[in-house]
A and B are shown apart, each in its own frame.
Chain A
Amino acid sequence: MSPRATASRRAVAIVLWLAALALCGAQVARTRFVADLSSFLPAHPTAEQQVLVDQLQHGALSRVMLVGIEGGDAASRAAVSRALARELSKDARFAGVANGETGGFERERELLFAHRYVLSPKVDAQRFSVEGLGQAIGASLDLLASSAGLAVKSLLTRDPTGETVALVEALQPVQQPALVDGVWGSKDGERAVLLVRTRASGADIDAQSQALQALEAAFTQAKARANAAATRLVVTGPGVFSVRARAMIEHDVLRLTTLSAALVAALLLAVYRSPRLLVLGFVPVVSGALVGVAAVSLGFGSVHGITLGFGTTLIGEAVDYAIYLFVQTGEAGAGAHWNERFWPTVRLGVLTSVAGFCTLLASGLPGLAQLGVYSIAGLVAAAAVTRYVLPSLAPSQLRVRDLSSIGRSFARALVGRTTARVIALVLVAGAIAALLVHRGPLWDRDLASLNPITAADRENDRVLREALGASDARVMVALPATDLEAALEAAEKAGRALDPLVASNVLAGYDSPARFLPSATAQRARQAALPEAAVLRDRLGQALQGLPLRAGRLEPFVADVEQARTAPLLTAHDLDGTALGLALDGLVMHDESGHWTAMLGLHAPPGKAIDARAVGAALVRANVPGALVLDVKSQLDAIYGGYFRRTLIASIAGLGVIGALLLAALRDAGRLVRVIAPFAAGVVIAAGLQVALGASLTLFHLVGLLLVAAIGSNYSLFFDRLAHHGDASAARTVASLALANATMVIGFGILALSSIPVLHAIGSTVAAGTLATLIISAVFAPAHAAEPRA
């Protein structure tokens, strides 16, 4: 090829490269960056999963903040709890706060009293028969004589059948926390606890973050007002965790990327001793990162913060291509020689890495798929830039320092050394032993392990949930409907199916939206059951025979019933802005497409689990259309199990592809085994190390192990090439491998410092596994591999 043709081809490559960078830059500029955890929920959920995902993201459960007050003495904790509740109830960001104090529900009590005859489930024709009236009034008189008499005395003449008392009792939570100094406390009395509901959904992290700040500010005020400096605040809950996770992701991403880039730069500078080479070396990295982010942005509509954090690995891997080019050729500008001799090996390495990252695409987790797209696009771009652009950018007289001495030292220490081989074998055997003697299941199948929640937060959450009795809202019944009325009717029908289960103690109780707002049908039926004034007077006269109460005293009751018969029905609008409206909102959901869902939260009897199958059978018998019984824990486990299976299958397929690629390139079964063995050993050592350090392996470790195979195969390939083809500058090749691996270990190793499980797991696994692979590749390479041969 003539020098002019080469020059023009180079110019074309540079122009294309710059144009691509500009396009990617434009895409990145309009990219939305997110940091919530929705990317780690299923992308294509089943009907059950969809309801669950909606619940987790927007439902009543997502709006809960669990608050604990620790430290100080019981009296000061109670004082802070009261002051905090008062403070929060004034704040529009909070829809409700409960700390065990019962005062202050005047509006709710008035609503219940005013609408008692359409709200009370006990109102039917039987209740207002002579016999029913006699029984109900008799029971009220008994209550009047009891120690609660004082509370019901004023109600007797207007509500002698006790509907208000029945309503208040029905709305009481099934399990109430213990009272310590008048407010809710943990069983041991060492914490005061509050249940706070935010107005914003748990998925709205900005709003959750503001609410959390408001809560903390209110606590500081309450603490000052109650003069309780020794008290401390503990807050958990889904929204709080999302806020903390986002902060953690933002913090980690910036810190890890900076640290990783600085360390790699320092290493390269120390080795090259040339700032120009350093800058050139980062050209493929920056190009790859830009292309990667643009690809994710195009494919997913937004880029997750965790994906950016994963960028550190790209620094570690993409910089390698430039290292191979510079160090192996000894010069930055003359690429033709390298293109012939080394590019096929690098290309094969890129392909195996891509095969590895493809498993991330297949996992079904959008969060992991983003990492896959980012890495694949980034690596391909970085390799292409190294191959087609980098040699043209570097002035041809720029020489790279001869690093043969590093390569020779490395080779002398490792290549073909019997002692080193023995040590490597012992390590592999040790790792296998660690995996075999590991107690309990090797793979952690708990979805929670994927959540970036600190162990301390998780423990606080458990303790607070236990104290608040909020732990067992784990099984729910979801009822699809076309409008609010249908949703309420479905809830009433399902409630009738569940009542026998409550009676037989299969359930301790259930929460139903129809308790707060009965369907119009139910309200009309109750109105129809109320007798006319004359009829009611007549029946009262008979019913009160033998009771110490004269009918004449109950004229206010007769008037109220008469009024209730024709009063307008209670609507959702009437409940707006009250605790009742809030409770209704938490149990009836509707989305933009007009679908409504009524949720019934089930409560387990003390010390027992809910028999979801019995619940399902009862609903089927009652013919409740479309009812879904959701066991949150088992659904989540099933979701995770699904991810795990898909990732496992994808990993096996990925290994198959890597094997096929290697076989196609090597065309020799013996060499194939020698290339595979080192990275297989690397995988075993990485897994064994995790287990030996006490971690249980998650989905993310599985992905990491596959990446060990994908990336590690690059190293064993180079040693295989050295052993078979020879290399006039073998020491340089070895040096480039050592350097490339060092940057890789830096990139992934720094990821291991992250507190985000996905980054930590993948980082620690890949760093350990690739280092082990390089060393084992070197140790088991034939002694002549590192010697210069033509």
Chain B
Amino acid sequence: MRAVAALALALACAAAHAAAFDVAALMALLRTGHPSHATFRETKYIKVLDQPVETSGELRFTPPDHLEKRSVGLNAETLVADRDTVTVERAGRKQVLSLAQYPEIAVFVDSIRGTLAGNRELLEKTYALSLSGTEPRWTLSLTPRDAKLARIVSHIAIQGSEGEVRRIEIDQADGDRSVMAITPAP
């Protein structure tokens, strides 16, 4: 259903603009307004470790700003970002953080929430955006505008198809990186 709706919207946009696929068009595709649900598999490549670390679980997003990431298995953890707070529950301990106080966490959370919600304004507050590819297979590149932030993260690449995000790749400034593959839940 959603794919159909997204396609219809894309066609409408394409018809309206009769132009190339640009950031505005992508944002319109992403801005479905519906909650979404997906599974993920995240691989972290950390220099100090000899092998990458893998986690998996599910993602839920309710526009405009409620994101849940539940990791399962050995390293089970629940992360809930809601408005301006992040709650992390791990090994029976719960921690509530304010995003205002942890800008380094806020930029990660906002890059994902901003993309899922199609919120161009939010993304452009911290990143320079560039889009490549076509509607069936696009890549959105996020490069930090702020030098302080650039010391933490050098680049974020988000890949997707139509209105769905499929892969988020984060390159950290110290050379560590993480790749999250996303599969929409049935």
Can you list 27 A-B pairs with a CB-CB distance of less than 8 A? Answer: A141-B53, A142-B74, A142-B75, A143-B90, A144-B49, A145-B53, A146-B55, A147-B88, A148-B90, A150-B104, A150-B152, A150-B172, A153-B46, A153-B48, A153-B174, A156-B48, A169-B93, A176-B96, A179-B96, A179-B97, A181-B84, A181-B98, A182-B84, A182-B101, A183-B98, A548-B49, A548-B50
A553 at the interface (CB under 8 A from B): yes
Asked if B9 is at the interface of the complex by the 8 Å CB criterion, the answer is no
Q: Which 9 A-B pairs rank lowest in CB-CB distance, beginning with the nearest? A: A182-B100, A145-B53, A182-B98, A548-B51, A548-B49, A548-B50, A179-B98, A142-B75, A147-B79
Q: Are B98 and A146 in contact (CB under 8 A)?
A: no
Nearest CB of B to A148, in Å:
7
Q: Which residues of B contact A (CB under 8 A)?
A: 44, 46, 48-51, 53, 55, 69, 71, 74-75, 77, 79, 84-85, 88, 90, 93, 96-101, 104-105, 152, 172, 174, 176
CB-CB nearest in chain B for A176: B96
A143 to chain B, nearest CB (A): 8
- Knowing that A146-B71, A179-B98, A182-B98 touch, tell me 6 more A-B residue pairs with CB under 8 angstroms: A141-B53, A145-B75, A146-B75, A156-B48, A182-B101, A548-B50
With A and B bound together, what is the CA distance between A528 and B154 in angstroms?
Answer: 44
A148–B71 Cα distance when bound, in Å, is 13
Distance between A724 CB and nearest chain B CB, rounded to angstroms: 81
Query: Across the interface, which residues of A come within 8 angstroms of B49, CB to CB?
Result: 141, 144, 548-549
Q: Are B53 and A548 in contact (CB under 8 A)?
A: yes
A305 surroundings in chain B (CB, below 8 A): none
Note all chain A residues with C-beta closer than 8 A to B88. 146-148
What is the bound-complex CA distance between A178 and B101, given in angstroms? 14
Nearest B residue to A82, CB-CB: B100
Q: Are A181 and B90 in contact (CB under 8 A)?
A: no
Report the nearest A residue to B46, measured CB to CB.
Answer: A144
Chain A interface residues (CB < 8 Å from chain B): 100-103, 141-150, 153, 156-157, 169, 176, 178-179, 181-183, 548-550, 553
Chain A neighbourhood of B53, CB < 8 A: 141, 144-145, 548
In the complex, A182 Cα to B93 Cα: how many Å? 20
Return chain B residues, CB-CB under 8 Å to A141. 49, 53
Q: A100 to B100: give the CA distance in the assembly, Å.
A: 11
Alpha-carbon distance A100/B55, docked complex (angstroms): 31
**B residues near A150, Cβ cutoff 8 Å:** 104-105, 152, 172
CB-based contact B101/A157 at 8 Å: no
Tell whether A153 pairs with B176 under 8 Å between CB atoms, given A147-B77, A169-B93. yes
Expressed in whole angstroms, the Cα–Cα distance for A102 and B105 within the complex equals 14
Which chain B residues lie closer than 8 Å to A178 at the CB level?
96
With A and B bound together, what is the CA distance between A624 and B53 in angstroms? 47
Q: Residues of A contacting B44 with CB < 8 Å? A: 145, 149
- Closest residue of B by beta carbon distance from A172: B95
State in angstroms the CA–CA spacing of A357 and B116 once bound together: 78
A146 touches B51 (CB 8 A): no
Please measure, in the bound complex, the distance between the C-alpha atom of A548 and the C-alpha atom of B47, giving whole angstroms.
Answer: 11
Q: Write the nearest CB–CB distance from A457 to chain B, whole angstroms.
A: 30
For residue B121, give the distance in angstroms from its CB to the closest CB of chain A: 18
Name the residue of chain B whose CB is nearest to the CB of A100: B98
On chain B, the residues within 8 Å of A182 by CB distance are: 84, 98-101
- Which residues from A are CB-within-8-Å of B75? 142, 145-146
In the bound complex, how far is the Cα of B176 from the Cα of A130, in angstroms?
29
- Inter-chain CA distance A144–B45, complex, in Å, is 11
- Which chain B residue has the least Cβ–Cβ distance from A177? B96
* In contact, A101 and B101 (Cβ under 8 angstroms): yes
- Chain B min CB distance to A150 (Å): 7
User: A145-B44, A148-B88 are known contacts. Are A181 and B51 too (CB-CB below 8 A)?
Assistant: no
